[in-house]
Amino acid sequence: MFSAGVVCSFRLPKIEITGVSIGALGFQGQIATSLTWAKQLSSKTVCVANVHMIMEAPCNEALRSALAKATLVTMDDTPLIWKKKQKDFAAQNRVADMDIFTAMCQRSVEGGISINLLESTKDVLERIQRKSQRDFPALRIARSNPYPLVP
């Protein structure tokens, strides 16, 4: 999502579900952490995972590898939130992907930070760019690349 190469100076709280390490940060914590990385020019990847992705990961090496390489995997599904609450993260709320994206766009504009966009197809990427520029005219998109979905 962001560029350069500064190492994160703290360990993110995480839990493991089906072998996938999932960040145990609330919404504001995720946004603040991501913005800190951006201001440090750190190269980080944030994945927003749903139940299907978490259940598929043990059987799909490419997906499991992509999630394992991500700096932060967060959840976008209520059953995953229930599981996190069982593991003593009672304050955890659902963090929807579009809520994260909207907050990051707004805070990036406010902080003068540019963003990189990765999406599954060129068509989807172009629609996201148009909507982002319409909703956040001052948003700076440094790069946008289609990223093919893993079969």
Tokens of 43: 């190269």
Q: What is the pLDDT of residues 111-147, one digit of tens each?
A: 999 988 877 788 888 899 999 999 999 999 988 887 7
- The reply to whether the predicted model has a pTM over 0.75 is no
**What are the tens digits of pLDDT across the range 86-108?**
555 555 556 677 888 899 999 99
Say if residue 40 is exposed, middle or buried (CB neighbours under 10 Å; 0-12, 13-18, 19+). middle
For residue 73, the cross-strand partners are 47
| pLDDT given at position 108 | 93
Q: CA-to-CA distance for 12 and 23, rounded, in angstroms?
A: 7
pLDDT digits (tens, 9 = 90+) for 1-29: 333 333 344 577 777 888 888 887 778 88
CA distance 85 to 127: 35
pLDDT digits (tens, 9 = 90+) for 47-70: 888 888 888 999 999 899 989 999
Q: How far apart are CA 43 and CA 5, in angstroms?
A: 5
Of 1-5, 31-35, 42-46, 124-128, the poorest mean pLDDT is in 1-5
Q: What is the largest CA-CA distance in the chain?
A: 42
- The set of long-range contacts for 6-11, using a CB threshold of 8 Å and a minimum separation of 24, is 6/37, 6/40, 6/41, 6/42, 7/42, 8/37, 8/42, 8/44, 8/71
pLDDT > 90 fraction of the chain, expressed in percent and rounded: 24
